[in-house]
Structure 1
Amino acid sequence: MSLSESARSKSFVTSDGVRISFAEFGAGEALILIHGWAASRLFWKHQIPELAERYRVVALDLRGHGDSEKPLPADYTARRMARDVVELCLHLGIRDPAIVGHSFGSIVASLAALEVGCRSLILLSPPLRMPTKPEIALMRFLLAIRPLSRKTITPKMFAQPTTELMEFVRRESAKAPPAALMEVLLQNSGSRLPSHLPPDRTTIIVGSADRINDPAKLERFSRLVGARFILIPGAGHDLMLERPEEVTKAMIEVLS
């Protein structure tokens, strides 16, 4: 199944006038896939084919990312992005979906689930807290004075980075203007993963070699909120790209 087929790409306009691009695959109960910061819906390219054999899969590009519009100035808060997801569900006539989010997309997914309801919520590599403004300022400073430091960021997404993985991430990240990406960070500085997640319906999946988030802290958080915790051995932050078969298997197990 090719994710680049233009016939599969659709769009709708949100209540605040931003065009959101998405793609649909398969039939059955709805499953919404939400990527993270500086990513795109193509980050789910390995999961969609098998998931679409069982579910109606909807993968969107968050505002400011991928093929969606990237207006400036604009509201890039996780809450507004969650509203985009809710409006997408209304646009497609979807009720009680399963919602999956990765990294920053986990915050968006959680907020959307709390608003629209869900039969299952799966969070991959969720951040317990987004960077604060001082941390963002330092990041911006380092990138400005050391352009080569950009090359050190992408490898941290993986336990064992390969040229193919890094080139894919850089290519998809480049679809988002730096100004839009910075707005996402600034407008969500210090934001935390909600602790009032849907009881008995939330699963957190983390790579054992995640260098962005601490797997041990996420396991403790899972116990605190009553979520199921799944550890993928040897996987880094972008685990759906690095360990696609294991992640897909875990997702299907949870959804079944």
Structure 2
Amino acid sequence: MGNADAEEAVLLIHGFGANTNHWRFNQPVLAEQAPTYAIDLLGFGRSDQPRACLKDEPVEADAVHYGFDLWGQQVADFCDAVVQRPVRLVGNSIGGVVALRASQLLGERCRGVVLIDCAQRLMDDKQLATQPAWMAWIRPLLKTMVRQRWLSTALFRNAARPGVIRSVLKQAYPSGANVDDDLVDLLFEPTQRDGATEAFRGFINLFDDHLAPQLMKDLKAPVDLIWGENDPWEPLAEAESWSESIACVRSLTVISRAGHCPHDEAPHTTNQALCRALTFIKD
């Protein structure tokens, strides 16, 4: 938090498997300019971790359908109940898709969105035309397998180990900067909670949900893009395409040598880009 007299606030939305602490190098800087919040999406960090209910499954008490409508509504509700002023949303990876959905729900109360390496969701059914032809053949089997709770739990437990997390981080952070024990711990600790496997099961079964370009098609709020030059998972070329073809996108800033999480890998440069996008400072 900071600068309580500012007219607008900022809300930071983490990516898959992360949490509020992933903004460790950004929130203190932004808070000098405006009230700055971060949120743990349902199923992650210190948030509740209800049981996942997939489409076509019997509805269970207290179970939820994890997806961008759920998380977008959570963000909108948080803005209504806690922020209580116009807000600018900043999202990394799937947090970017959440930010776009929340912006739709908030309407004029959202003054802008910043997408940091927004998830392109290449495994969504609507993206099938962009995938290799063999993917269409194995897709029904893949969908059947990942619905099995025993399998999703086994996959999660195999991935939720410090050594595996560090290995994935080395892919996500190609420069190697800031891949430290604190980062591994902040990602590992929430995976040890009893319900941690449920959000994972819900997420890997999202084969038909919102895509960023669709959400931006009629969005009223301006959108700024910040992208790691060497993102191994969300190609920069797609961000360049969005910048050229989507009316609400007003800028694209490329962070040199950074990967999927430039806000944590190259925080100084990314904070400068964030401040420009959030109009705290002028060029």
Partner of 2:106: 116
Amino acid at match of 2:174: A
1:93-132 to structure 2, matched below 5 A, reads: 94-117=84-107, 118-129=110-121, 131-132=123-124
1:186 aligns with one of 188, 204, 209:
204
TM norm structure 1: 0.80
Deviations 1:185-221 (A, max 9, x none): 2343354224342357101110001111100121112
Q: Deviations over 1:73-92 (max 9, x none)?
A: 33321110110111111112
Provide the TM-score with structure 2 as the length reference. 0.72
* Cα distance in 2, alignment partners of residues 143 and 85 from structure 1: 25
- 2:16 and 2:157 mapped to 1: Cα distance? 20
Unaligned stretches of 5+ in structure 1? 1-23
Partner SS, residue 92 of structure 1: helix
Q: Distance in 1 between matches of 2:33 and 2:158?
A: 49
- Give the Cα separation in 2 of the matches to 1:233 and 1:161: 13
SS of match in other structure, 1:115 = helix
> Which of 87, 91, 115 is the matching residue for 2:81?
91
Higher strand share: 1
Larger Rg: 2
Structure 2 unaligned regions, length at least 5: 53-63, 125-138
Q: Corresponding residue for 2:182? A: 168
Q: 1:209-248: per-residue Cα shift (whole Å, max 9, x none)?
A: 1111100121112222131211111111111111001111
Amino acid at match of 2:112: S
CA contact (8 A) 1:209 1:234 kept: yes
How far 1:51 sits from its partner (Å)? Answer: 0.8
- Decide which moves more: 233-242 or 176-185: 176-185
How far, CA to CA, are the matches of 2:158 and 2:74 in structure 1?
36
Q: Does 1:223 align with 2:244?
A: yes
In the TM superposition, 1:1-256 aligns within 5 A as 24-27=1-4, 28=6, 29-73=8-52, 74-92=64-82, 94-117=84-107, 118-129=110-121, 131-132=123-124, 134=142, 137=146, 152-161=167-176, 165-174=179-188, 175-176=190-191, 177=193, 178-191=196-209, 192-197=211-216, 198=219, 201-226=222-247, 227=249, 228-256=251-279
In structure 2, C-alpha distance between the alignment counterparts of 1:93 and 1:231, rounded to whole Å: 30
